[in-house]
Every structure is written in C-alpha cells, then in structure tokens.
Amino acid sequence: MKGLLRIAFRNLFEHRAKSIIVGVLLSLGVIILVLGSAVHNGMARGIEKSFTKNYTADVIITGIAEGPVSLFGVSSAGGIAKTPVLPDYEKILTFTKNLKHVSAVTGMASTYGIAQKEIDETTTNENNAEEEEEDSERNMFRFFFLFGVDTMQYKTVFPDFSLEEGEFLKPGERGIIISKKQKEGLEKFLKKTLQLGDELLILASSGSGIKITRVPLTGIYTAKSEGYAPEQLAYCDIDTVRILENMTLGANIEVQLSQEQKAVFEATNYDDLFSDTDTFITSGSSTGSVDFENILGDTSLREELNKVDTGAWHFILIRADSPASAPLIIKELNEFFKENNIAAQAGDWKDAAGQYAQSVDVFGTVLAVGVIILAFVVVVIIMNTLVVSVIERTTEIGTIRALGASRSFVRRLFFTETLLLSLIFGSIGIVLSYIVNAIIHALNIKAGNQILELLFGGPYLSPVITVSTVVSALAVIVAVGIAAHFYPVAVALRIEPIRAIQND
C-alpha cells in the first residue's frame, strides 16, 4: 500500500499541470456545495427561529380537515377551506398543560378580514363622486389576516410580542392591534389619521354569508421579521374572530325537535303546507292584519343558537422547554388523541407555518437539483481531463504492464491518484469555504426586499456551515472524482503493452 501511495504521489507531481486543473475543479465544486448548503442552513434556521419565536411556537394542535391545517388556513384541492374548530378544547388544554416538557400554551383562532371604507351616501359633490369611484377600483378595502388571541395568555408563549402604542387587550375587551406599516396604509386608504380608540369596520365572508363588525383600534404592535409572515397580519380579541368566522353555539348544539316540528320537515306536499293562510290571521281582526309577534312562535332557541361560542378555538400553540422536546410532545399528544377518539392532530412549526415554511423545502429541492447538475458537469469535465492525461501516459502505462503489472494494479493506481486528488483539493475547498463564509458575514450583505430576506434567512445574508455540511460536500466530491476515473481506467486497460511502448 505504501508503494502504491508513493507511486501515486510521484505521478501526480510529474503530471502536476493536469492534477492542478482537476484539483481546481474539485475545490470549486466543494466551495459551491458547502456555501450552497450553508445558505440553505441559514435560511432554514432563520425561518424556524422567526416563526417559532414570533408566530407558531414549537407545537401546534389543530382539528382535522381535508387538507393540511396551518395558522393561515386549510390548503385543499379547491382552495382554502374553512378552518375546523378544535374539539374538546378544555380537555386537550388540560392534558397539554400537564405534559412534562411544556412550558406555556395559548389558544388562538384566525380568519381573513377586510377593512371597509364607510361611504357617506349623502355626498353629492361631483368631484368627490369621481374620487370615490377611483378609490373603489384600487383601495375599496384593506386586507387583514387576523389572529384572534387572549393577549395576556398569548404573551406567555410569545414574550417578545410588544406594542409601540396602546395597551394589550384585557380579558373580554374588544379591539384590534395592527402594525405601524398597516396603520400608514389604512390612513392612506381611509384618507384620515387614525387614533387609538377609532373604530374600524371589518368585513369577512364565512360559510354562512357576509359578517360585518366594528372593532376599536387599541394598539400598534412591533412587527417582527416582516419577510416571513404576511404583512397584513393583525391581532384582535378572540370574540371578533368568532363573530367573523360565525363560530356560534348553533354549530355545536344538537337541536331537539318535537313530533309536530318533525312532521313539518317530513311533509311532501309543500303547497298544502302553506295553503291554509287563515291560521296566520288574527281572529276577530277586521283589517286582516298579520300577528307578527306570534307568527314565528318562541324565538329564544334561535337567539341562543346565534350567540358566539365563547369556548371555540381553532388552535392551541405550545412552547416547549427546548426545541428538541417538540417531537416528544407531538408524539404524546397524537397518542392521546387516538386513545380518546378526539378529531385533533399535533404538528411542528412547519405545519403551523404552512406555505411560509414550504419555501425551505423548495429551496432545498432546488439546491439538490443544482448539486446533481453540478456533479454531472464536474464528472464530464474531470473525465475529459483524465482521458487526456491517460493518453499522454500511454507509454508509462504500457511500460508498467510490460513489466508485469496486472490490470487490478492499474485500477488501484488510478483509484489512489483520484482519491488523493479529491481529498487534498476537497480539503482546500473546505478551507476556502470557511474563508469566503467569514468574508460574507463581515460584509453584512443586506436583503433589499422580502424575497431576499426570506432567502437570506434574515435581514442579512448569514450562511451557516455545519460539520454535516462539510462531511457531505467532501463525500460528494470524492464520489464524483471516483466516478469520473472509471472511463479513463477502462481506456488505459484497453491499451496493449507492446503497442503502448511503440507509441512513444
């Protein structure tokens, strides 16, 4: 083995021009692999840190739907479906709080809303009418994504949640908290200066129709990592979301009908059902007026069913004592749901972030495709370089074979040379990668927009080189080098010793 290594080193030195060419390609490949993976690592860590710290916590509990459920809705084949209400909320909450690695929990619900402009119908000024028409085409509404929370409980899970103006909502208090950027946009849209206490008209479309409610502006929050979450994100009291989402008691109460009421629904002749109109006329009435007070009967049940369900929540967010504990919590929760036949599920921060976390996987896929393309190109270039090198060493190979060297010896010799090249120049590439990474951090390359902020993993480009990244890159380059040497070896072994010597 020592003799083989000595010969391999001598050959690499004697043919150093070709060795350097191949080595530079290998080093460049390592640099691209390491820095590409480092950018991906920085992006993944940045997004995970931002979401778990500010929006999703470590674990999310949701109801079951046809598609994946996240804080931002349900992804389904037909679009975004209605987010399911979490069943057995109190039972789940009690079990969750008693889990070993859980440090804090909070309930939450979410919905989409529109800040509606209140138009004065008495306005007849022609210029104002034209202005309103122009606004209706561009700024007739302002979109919100609303997180309905108990802010006091919410802060136990997200302690960095802070306000620039106003106060956090007290239990039972109505209000909406928006960002400074949203406030500026709303002021342009509404054409007035917004003050704390001003009411906003919020409109939402639920499964049962359009819902409209007024909610006072109670605070301006400090936006965190705007490149990750939607810029339309706003926080409000939980009951406002319940109203907009039509989360009423009627959704959960099973109505008991009398036999007479059931008979009405079972009637097959609807003409007969409404034919006897005399029953709706008050006896003794000379005018034939309708008794509107009694025509609908007792409406107390209807009023009860339309009350907001104060126990309805979409999610439970969990802060673990450490991120490493999240998988264990998820496992215990899903086992609890299965044992108790509860239609709920637990997931990690990626499940909670939904489409925003998918960007990490997409970038990882793009990186993997890039690595495959890079490997293919490097293999072809190295293979061509080695083929030229083999042709130039025809006499040398023929002499070795004429002196009695076996085919296996020639294979081992080329394999050793390639392995040494890959390891030496791969290591050089790793060292250069660390140097380039340090330069990138020193330059503080700032993201110019939200897309770059997402790709950078934060406001600045912050690639993260890990041990696994280095080992993987070196392994890939060694594999590429070894794969590239097979064809040149096959060419070398096809050369007859006598002909190789004669070609000199």
The pairing of strands 209-221 and 163-166 is antiparallel
CA gap 312, 153 in Å, rounded: 16
CA gap 459, 450 in Å, rounded: 9
Q: Which helix (H) or strand (E) holds 149?
A: strand 141-149
pTM for the model: 0.71
Backbone φ and ψ of 9, nearest 5°: -60, -45
Q: Of 457, 470, 462, which Cα lies nearest the Cα of 426?
A: 470
Q: Which amino acid, residue 277?
A: T
pLDDT values of the chain reduced to their tens digit, one per residue, 504 residues:
677 788 777 877 777 787 888 888 888 888 888 888 888 888 888 888 888 888 899 999 999 988 888 888 887 655 567 889 999 999 999 999 999 999 999 999 999 888 887 755 444 444 454 454 445 444 544 788 899 999 889 999 999 888 999 988 888 889 999 988 889 888 888 888 999 999 999 988 765 678 888 999 999 987 665 555 667 889 999 999 998 888 866 555 554 555 655 555 455 554 554 555 454 444 444 444 545 455 455 545 444 445 666 788 999 999 999 989 999 999 999 999 999 999 999 999 989 988 777 766 777 788 778 777 876 777 777 777 777 777 677 777 777 777 777 878 878 888 888 888 889 999 999 999 999 999 998 988 887 766 677 667 677 888 889 999 899 888 988 888 888 778 777 777 776 766 656 655
Would you state the torsion angle of the CA atoms of residues 16, 18, 20, 22, taken in this order, to the nearest 10 degrees? Answer: -150
Neighbours of 362 (CB within 10 A): 10
Could you tell me the two tokens for 266? 């079972």
CA gap 153, 59 in Å, rounded: 16
